[in-house]
Amino acid sequence: MKVLGFFVSFILYVNFDDMKFFWCLYVVLLIVSCKSKNTKEVSMDELSKPSIHYTTKEKKQLVKLSKLSAYDSISFFSKKLADTLGIAKNQIHRITTFVFPDRFNPIKSDKWYGISPGDSFVYKHWIYADTNVAENTYFNWLDNFGDKHLSLKFGDKVRVSSNAFVLLQQHRSVLLLESKNQLNKDNILILLDTLGFGSTWKFVLFQNKGKKIEWFEQFNLIQKNENSKP
């Protein structure tokens, strides 16, 4: 607007005298050109680009993880479980893909798969801020479960996966253990109890290989499942 006002003032001043007019026009165009060069254009890519602080922090985290072996990067309990299942350290692989329970902002997560001489296992464990969030995550996942995104209701008798698995919810945790071979539910829960996870589970969803799922509520190993509701 200032440039336009300046241009109009020049035109009125020179009264369209040819020489003065062209000289003034040249001066105005020169000013506009200089002003355009001093104006920095900002693209959408630059606007959406993360801050230097964020990218630096992210790079440091990736470098830190890359220096650790997959075995070293998993939790203490995971290492004990892998050792008990007979999985060698170099056969542990971290799972970095986004899984449904990751949507509910866990404060910690541990996801990996391991290959033993006679089996292969998938282990996924999430810890949330409180029990309500963990239980909400558990039932939301059941509403969109597995590769087929099945909607499961408590008590449904269907076969969900070609693998054996146990899906557990306890306090602030949601835990999934999957095997290519058969699983013994009680033995797995005893093993988890021995490793420090505890003996009481609020919800247990279990499916053996080639079988239909079984449901349990308030599953307690110590009380020999007297309070469990199949």
225 assigned to some structural domain? no
Same domain, 27 and 129: no
Same domain, 27 and 130: no
Residue 13 domain boundaries: 2-38
Number of domains in the chain: 2
Percent of the chain with pLDDT over 70: 67
75 assigned to some structural domain? yes
50 assigned to some structural domain? no
59 assigned to some structural domain? no
44 assigned to some structural domain? no
Same domain, 93 and 159: yes
Q: What angle do CA 74, 198, 82 make, to 5 degrees?
A: 30
Same domain, 105 and 24: no
pLDDT digits (tens, 9 = 90+) for 87-108: 999 999 999 999 999 999 999 9
Same domain, 76 and 123: yes
Same domain, 113 and 184: yes
Same domain, 83 and 158: yes
> How far is the C-alpha of 100 from the C-alpha of 208, rounded, in Å?
22
Q: Which two tokens stand for residue 190?
A: 């005893």
Same domain, 78 and 139: yes
> How far is the C-alpha of 10 from the C-alpha of 20, rounded, in Å?
9
What is the DSSP secondary-structure string of the chain? -HHHHHHHHHHHHHTT-HHHHHHHHHHHHHHHHHHHHHSPP--HHHHHSPPHHHHHHHHHHHHHHHHS-HHHHS-HHHHHHHHHTT--GGGEEE--S--GGGGG--SEEEEEEEE-SS-EEEEEEEE-SSHHHHHHHHHHHHTTBTTTTB---TT------SSEEEEEEETTEEEEEEESS---HHHHHHHHHHTTS-SEEEEEEEE-TTS--EEEEEEETTTTTTT-B-
> How far is the C-alpha of 175 from the C-alpha of 123, rounded, in Å?
8
Same domain, 29 and 96: no
Same domain, 178 and 110: yes
Same domain, 165 and 110: yes
pLDDT digits (tens, 9 = 90+) for 203-225: 999 999 999 999 998 888 665 54
Helices 2-14 and 18-38 cross at an angle (nearest 10°) of 170
Q: Please state whether the predicted TM-score (pTM) of the whole model is above 0.85.
A: no
Task: State the residue for tokens 């001043």.
Answer: 13
160 close to 144: Cβ distance less than 8 angstroms: no
> How far is the C-alpha of 60 from the C-alpha of 72, rounded, in Å?
17
The three-state DSSP-derived secondary structure of 193-214 is: HHCCCCCEEEEEEEECCCCCCE
Percent of the chain with pLDDT over 90: 52
Give the mean pLDDT of the chain: 78
203 assigned to some structural domain? yes
211 assigned to some structural domain? yes
62 assigned to some structural domain? no
Which pLDDT score, from 0 to 100, does residue 63 have? 52
* Residue 39 in this model has a pLDDT that exceeds 50: no
Same domain, 32 and 121: no
